Amino acid sequence: MKIALLFGASGLVGSHLLNQLISNNNYSKIKLFVRSAIDLNDSKIEIIQTDFNNLENHREDIKGDDCFFCIGTTKKNSPDKNEYKRVELEVPKQIAQIAKSNFVNSFVFVSSGYADPKSSGDYLKFKGEVEEELKKLNFPKLGVMRPSFLLGDRKEKRVGEKIGIFIFKLISPLLLGPLKKMKPIHSEIVATSMIKVANEDLQKNTFESNEIMELTK
């Protein structure tokens, strides 16, 4: 029986991931790292109220078998450029570094399609830089998930994203060959695939959106 470390359980992917981890018999405990106290009653869950500005204070907490990282923000929620960079780049890198030093076996990270450390846009650039750091850390098992547009019930409504998803749903049948990775994917499928990556010996560690879909078939 394993211990899961979960960062970002309130998000679109993270909420599905939490529910699936609770029902998964491979895990006896789920350490839930949250900014503010939440009310969750399940014998598997250990809630760790986390100071993300001082992650070194949680070094002893970041111990377990599989670390799942689903934290992300938007420019709207983090308009300050330094804060945006801290959440998207510095926090995941530091958590991964601490996890590695604590001999956590696997790290599964929600990145993005077209993530690239050389991208001109901050979002794709930071995701790409985190991916590079994760590869350098050389975890025994690494999963980099690169979903396209995420489908699911969001707590906040993003008008631009809703329009994008609507358009991509319409043209989805036309996205063939190299364009298959642009097809929208449901957040629940991403969560299922993350658990599969952590529990099976797969031949690769980076999964585009269409490859994430294939993992659940």
Residue pointed to by tokens 């949680």: 58
> In this structure, what are the phi and psi dihedrals at residue 108, rounded to the nearest 5 degrees?
-120, 120
Residue type (1 letter), 22: I
Distances (CA, A) of 21 to 42, 59, 66, 74, 196: 11, 22, 11, 26, 11
Which tokens in the block code for residue 203? Answer: 């031949």
**Annotated domain spans of the chain:** 2-215
33 and 59 Cβ atoms separated by less than 8 Å: no
How do residues 151-173 score in pLDDT, each as one tens digit?
A: 877 655 555 556 655 655 665 56
How many whole angstroms separate alpha carbon 77 and alpha carbon 60? 30
Specify the CATH class of 2-215 in words.
alpha beta
Closest C-alpha among 146, 141, 120, 121 to residue 131: 146
Q: What residues have CB less than 8 Å from 40, skipping those under 6 apart?
A: 32, 47
Rounded-to-integer distance, Cα 209 and Cα 153, Å: 19
Residues 75-134: tens digit of each pLDDT:
777 778 899 999 999 999 999 999 999 999 999 999 998 899 999 999 999 999 999 999
CA–CA distance, 14 with 154 (Å, rounded to integer): 12
What's the pTM?
0.89
DSSP three-state, residue 156 = coil
Q: Look at residue 118 in the predicted model and tell me its pLDDT.
A: 94
DSSP label at residue 104: -
Q: Which helix (H) or strand (E) holds 4?
A: strand 2-7
| Paired tokens of 145 | 């998930």
pLDDT tens readout for residues 42-87: 889 999 999 999 999 999 999 999 999 999 877 777 778 899 999 9
